[in-house]
Chain A
Amino acid sequence: MTLFKSLLIAAALTAFVPAPAIAQPNRAQAQKAAPIAADAVISVNGLVCDFCAQAIEKSFRRRAEVNDIRVDLTAKVVSVDFKPNTTLDDATLRRIVTNAGYTVVSIRRPTSSGNGGAS
């Protein structure tokens, strides 16, 4: 394959990248890192890449109790918001994170009165 074709491949790949995400990654990051009304904040070891975030997000979103989830790679925490009148206990949260391949350091319940707290 010629160098010209290689250049075309590289150019095609970069063409799929949204320009704002290239030019202003900090703004995109800030938007994504915006806090949610977390019912549980899980400190996790091993969160180093977007793949890690994907694995944890998809594992949590399979649970009917989960309303929203946010992974913060910088703070190394997973924030989980439960649907009204639902919750997941610490053991379940720990199992979801562990099965996704990561290690739970601690679990906090900032709004423990909101959804009934840990069960």
Chain B
Amino acid sequence: MRPYAYMALAAAAAALAPTDADARPVTYPGGNMAMVEHRDESTTTEFVHTLTPKFAVGWHDEWNDERDWQFHGPMIAGLAKRWNMPDAQGNIFWMAGAGVAYDDVASTGGDAKPAAYASVEADWENRRFYTQYQAKGFWAEDIDTTFMQRARFGVAPYVAEAGALHTWAILQVDYDAEDDRPLSVSPVVRLFKGGALAEAGVSLNGDAFASLMVYF
């Protein structure tokens, strides 16, 4: 099958397909990552600056219209472990943030409460396959407490060289016990070229998302 046909299939899969952007939170010393994501009824923005090979700092904003809160605060991220193999790489990352959450923004203008989140992420990939697991807990006093898990499995329809367009067709499974529909399955398409990474998808429940990340 020609690569263009794979692209068409990936786009079709995306049209059926939520996720947030699964960027590598720690890049390289001096490296930056900016991300914006819109997912059905929530929008997230994040900026991360890597200080050392294993540590990064940043700022995280999130607006959740469905649960009627927003969060703003600084964050830190670390690379706990990396396995560099001849044909593959595995990573364990951790992330944490603390700040202020505002409740009932739409009706009252917001009631500020302390809030925090923490997550751990493990991934393994080679040039053809990609797997990832992520667990994230969010707490905001008297506003919301959530714990979500995500697993991803991706396939590259063709193997691309550095600088070329990289395409991934990804199947994502989300679990959030507090959600009206705890289990969500989403086909996702990822395009990566140069320092820009874009993802789009729609879950089988009909929740759509799109994200854009830029590394610089």
Contacts and interface: CB of A to CB of B under 8 A. Distances in A.
Partners in one complex: yes
B160 A102 contact: no
A interface, over-half SS? helix
A3 B165 contact: no
Contact of A1 (B127, B159, B161, B207): B207
A14 B11 contact: yes
B137 interface: no
A35 interface: no
A62 B216 CA distance: 13
A12 to B, nearest CB: 8
Interface stretch (B82-90, B101-109, B175-183): B82-90
Contacts of A64: none
Given A13-B198, A46-B89, A25 B165 contact: yes
B164 A48 contact: no
Interface residues of B, number: 54
Interface stretch (A66-74, A84-92, A110-118): A66-74
Q: How many A residues touch the partner, as a band?
A: 35 or more
A54 to B, nearest CB: 6
Interface string A1-38: 11101110111011011100111010011101100000
A51 B28 contact: no
Interface in B180-216: 189, 191-195, 197-198, 200-202, 206-208, 210, 215
Given A46-B84, A49-B125, A100-B28, A7 B162 contact: no
Interface of A: 1-3, 5-7, 9-11, 13-14, 16-18, 21-23, 25, 28-30, 32-33, 44-46, 48-55, 57-59, 62, 70-74, 76, 98-103, 105
Given A10-B200, A62-B30, 12 more contacts: A1-B206, A3-B202, A13-B191, A13-B200, A23-B3, A25-B3, A33-B161, A48-B126, A49-B89, A50-B160, A71-B162, A101-B84
Interface of B: 2-4, 7, 11, 14-15, 17, 24, 26-31, 40, 53, 79, 82-89, 125-127, 158-166, 189, 191-195, 197-198, 200-202, 206-208, 210, 215
